[in-house]
Structure 1
Amino acid sequence: MIVFNINHTDYTLLLKDLAAEFGIAFTGDDYVDLPESAGKGCIKILKLFDELQVLVADVTFNKTLITSREYSDSRFFILHFDDVNITNTAKLKVDGETLLKTNTRHAVARLTSNMFVNTEELPAGLHIRSIKILFSESWLKKYLDLSPEQPVLEKYLSLKTESFDIESLDTEYLRLMDDIFQVPQHDPLQNIFLQNRVTLLIERFFTRLHDKSSLLEGRFSLTDDEVQRLIKVEQLLINNLGETPPTIDEFSKLVSMSSTKLKKSFKGIYGDSIYAYYQKVRMQKARELLMSGKYKVNEAASTIGYQNTSNFIMAFKKQFGISPGEVAGLQ
């Protein structure tokens, strides 16, 4: 088991401490190659911006990895883009609240902060592809064009485990990540290229987060607690796309909200009715499965809960204007 505290605001120091943890010499370069005793792969820093730090990891650890970030009064944030195929159980924990992920592809963008204690426990043998962007509260306020007195956390963010999957990685996110992982090491234009891709990741995340958070701008008369309950509904919808979701009445009881208010408020946040949103998300999931080249049409259909492949084909074509067979054939 590897246990590592990552209370760093400097990724170079993080690499140095990682090298010490693995018992290898730190050369001062912007990367650390895992020794065979720890696993395989590389963790590196991209030095692209003055106010942002970017860490890229493409690794597999031989042992269970537990990372912990403690609470700090000095506010900073980390924007994670994580793509992990979990074949056992992974554990994410924030301030005592725990989220378990089992036998799934954990492909999400999420925002965490040192204002909460964050712990991750990943079992041995997982292939982890991750891009982490660290920035200060002042940068975030400047980026979002907020005045200094506006509380970023209360206005825009929900950093508890209920919203860990606030943004699933769709094909566009994954394409941008692939571009970053695959850029040639000695390309003379690599920094310009990488700056562009990292910027697009950031813009995409915050644009979509802002859209989801529109009710916090006062457009809807909901309390912060009601917002969290709506986020919970969204998570229950998309956490297991292979199973039939709860009914509206069941959702209403689960989150203690009338069915009328639930339906109106959900559409106000997410732009679609509950089941229209669910259908869009699972069609997007099917598209990602087909584009991976690892799933046949009937397998993708079954994975998202369709027992009748013909019905799946009709729904897919209605959503994308192209048949799932054509998408699979592009690979």
Structure 2
Amino acid sequence: MNRLKNMEKQMQKIQLSAPKPTETPNRFRINLPSALGQGGHDIYFFNSGLKLTIMQARLNQPVQIPGMIQEPLVGFGFCMAGSFDVFSSSKRPVTIKAGESAFLSCPPHIESIENIPSNHLLRIYLMLEGEILSSFAKGDENYFSPALKSLDKKQINRIVHPITPLMRATLHQILHCPYCGKAGHLYLESKAMELLSHKLAQLHPSDGCQHFKVKRADYDRVIHVAEILVNNMENPPDTMELARAVGLSRSKLQRCFFRVYGVSLFEYLRNHRLQTARQLLQSGEVNVTEAALHVGYANQSYFAKAFKAMFGVAPGTLLHTPARR
């Protein structure tokens, strides 16, 4: 708490401007004040009732953003880079970190304050309007019962899981949409739907095909293993150590992990390492060698080869990539 108080004293309080229309229909933009850094918000509204928000910025100094939530919100957040603290009038402070995805809901008329340190920030939000929420919940209200109950209680609710490799791939495609105009709008809407399906599958793994079902207790163990890998990517435990940590046999852990994430333990760790390295390089705060070492690659040539195989470019080409405008 002392850390948060000291940080607040150094923060520049700002009020973001209202979204402005762009040349692309149903796309709006909020620019960050140039004195504070580069970047801002891109907001897309789709006929399906989904709203996609991409926030990408590089801040020159810590900032504090106060706001008021006017309408009830239900949706999903994906923090891909940076971290920040959120304060609200209904709940204790929440720290949001890179690599987290969350199912979130918030009732109307809630005041909030975001404390954001000086760094590279990349967040994507996928919000659901009332009609699409009702259509998804119809016949299986358990999907959204935590959100609906929290709205009734006038409280903010947040259920956190790691961003999976499948989600990362879809998020990457959203950030690098290959089309413009109507084709681009349709592409982004389809990817937003794809992202929604990945998140629903993560929240309710038992709703998949029969041969992919995983017991809830085993699913929670797999999620914990993924968190261990993310938090120890420089020097990760081996498979046997992971299995002992969560009380599963090695073979069952490997089988359940693949069923939940669609990749092996090794592939999950490799993908997370390379995605993290990519974010570090784009932040402009490290060079290629530092990025490789930070994510656990001691062999530079092996890192470069793996990076190019995943992203199609050499790691050095991503240095000082400008923020999305």
Shift, 1:175, TM fit: 5.3
Match of 2:219 in 1: 227
Give the Cα separation in 1 of the matches to 2:53 and 2:206. Answer: 32
In 1, the alpha carbon distance for the partners of 2:52 and 2:123 equals: 10
Equivalent residue number for residue 160 of structure 1: 159
Question: SS at the partner of 2:297?
Answer: coil
The answer (yes or no) to whether the contact 1:297–1:328 under 8 Å persists in 2 is yes
Verify the 8 A CA contact 1:109 1:205 in the aligned structure 2: no
Q: Does 1:312 find its partner at 2:303?
A: yes
- Selected match of 2:191 from 174, 177, 201: 201
Q: 1:289, CA displacement in angstroms?
A: 5.2
Matches within 5 A, 1:109-120: 110-114=102-106
Please name the residue that 1:123 is paired with.
Answer: 116
CA RMSD of aligned residues (A): 5.1
- Residue identity in the other structure for 1:79: F
> Match of 1:199, as an amino acid?
E
Cα distance between partner residues in 1 of 2:20 and 2:81: 28
1:202-250, CA deviations, whole angstroms, 9 ceiling, x for partnerless residues? 1331343466554443545643233222112112212443x21123343
Query: Does residue 1:245 correspond to 2:221, yes or no?
Result: no
- Give the counterpart letter for 1:85 in structure 2: G
Gaps of 5+ in 1: 2-20, 184-188
- Look up the match of 1:6: none
The CA distance in 2 between the partners of 1:27 and 1:254, in whole Å, is: 47
Asked if structure 2 preserves the Cα contact closer than 8 Å seen for 1:215 and 1:268, the reply is: no
Pick one of 283, 298, 308 that aligns with 2:289. Answer: 298
Q: Which residue of 2 aligns with 1:80?
A: 77
> How far apart, in 1, do the equivalents of 2:293 and 2:16 lie?
46
In the alignment, structure 1 residue 268 sits paired with structure 2 residue 291: no
Within 5 Å, which residues of 2 pair with 1:27-176?
Answer: 46-49=44-47, 51-55=49-53, 57=55, 63-65=63-65, 77-86=74-83, 90-91=84-85, 101=97, 106=98, 110-114=102-106, 121-126=114-119, 128-136=121-129, 138-140=131-133, 142=135, 148-149=139-140, 151-153=142-144, 160-161=159-160, 163=161, 165-166=163-164, 170=168, 173-174=171-172, 176=174
Report the CA distance shift for 1:223/1:122 in structure 2 as closer, same or farther (over 3 A). farther
- Partner Cα distance (2:96, 2:211) in 1: 33
Question: Residue deviations 1:113-170, cap 9 Å, x none?
Answer: 349x99875334455454433214651464x6x7534532489xx9523x05456874
Partner of 1:15: none
Distance 2:222 2:296 in 1: 23
Query: In structure 1, how many angstroms separate the alpha carbons of the residues matched to 2:274 and 2:143?
Result: 33
Contact 2:50–2:127, Cα closer than 8 Å, also in 1: yes
What is the letter of the counterpart of residue 49 of structure 1?
N
Secondary structure at the aligned position of 2:82 is classed as: strand
Question: 1:64-89: per-residue Cα shift (whole Å, max 9, x none)?
Answer: 3477979x9x7x52233445434xxx
Deviation at 1:274, TM superposition (A): 1.9
Out of 265, 269, 289, which is 1:278 matched to?
269
Identity %: 19
Aligned residue pairs total: 284
**Runs of 5+ in structure 2 lacking a partner?**
5-13, 22-27, 147-156, 320-325
- 1:254: which partner in 2? 245
SS at match of 1:245: coil
Q: Match of 1:177?
A: 175
TM-score (norm 2): 0.60
Aligned partner of 2:254: which letter? K
1:186 maps to none
Question: How far is 1:320 from its partner?
Answer: 4.6
